[in-house]
Amino acid sequence: MKSTSFRLWIPTLAVFVLTMASYAQWTNPADDVPAYHPHAPLNVRALPKILSGAQLTGPNFRYRWQVHAYQDAARVGNVLYQLPCNCRCDRELGHTSLRSCYEGLHATECATCAKEGFYAYMKTRAGWTPAQIRAGIARHDYEGINLDEE
């Protein structure tokens, strides 16, 4: 009787181990990284425009930092295209990168997007690559930016 239950226990354990191993194979820790594009856009003209000029007025642009964020974003749009946004607007709004936040009004309402945009602009001017900036965003280095000073 003991040998029969032992014989059943071994295959059950084997199925369990194989199931867990196959699940781990399909689980990607990178899935928790917000959406971004790994390379610069091939055709910038095909992308929606970052808001600019007269679009940077009205009730959504009450603070100086809001206008400044969009102006800086326009200067580094190709870099923003290659960066994720930690506010997770990819899930809620379908954004494909940090650049998407500046193609509409989202970055006027979201401190995370605005800070990441300022961070990207500053680091790009300092000679950082998009990959280096992505790593800084992953570390939340942008969180120290004070929007009232921008």
pLDDT tens-place string over residues 38-91 = 888 888 788 999 999 999 999 999 999 999 999 999 999 999 999 998 888 878
Q: Quick one: average pLDDT of 102-109?
A: 94
pLDDT tens-place string over residues 109-149 = 999 999 999 999 999 999 999 999 999 999 999 999 999 88
Contact 50, 79 (CB under 8 A): no
- Taking the domains of the chain in order of start, what are their residue ranges? 34-149
Quote the CA–CA distance of 119 and 107 in Å, as a whole number: 13
Measured from the Cβ of residue 61, the count of other Cβ atoms closer than 10 Å reads 17
Residue 103 — φ and ψ, nearest 5°?
-85, -10
pTM score, whole prediction: 0.76
Residue 53 vs residues 22, 68, 81, 112, 122: alpha-carbon distances, Å: 53, 11, 20, 23, 21
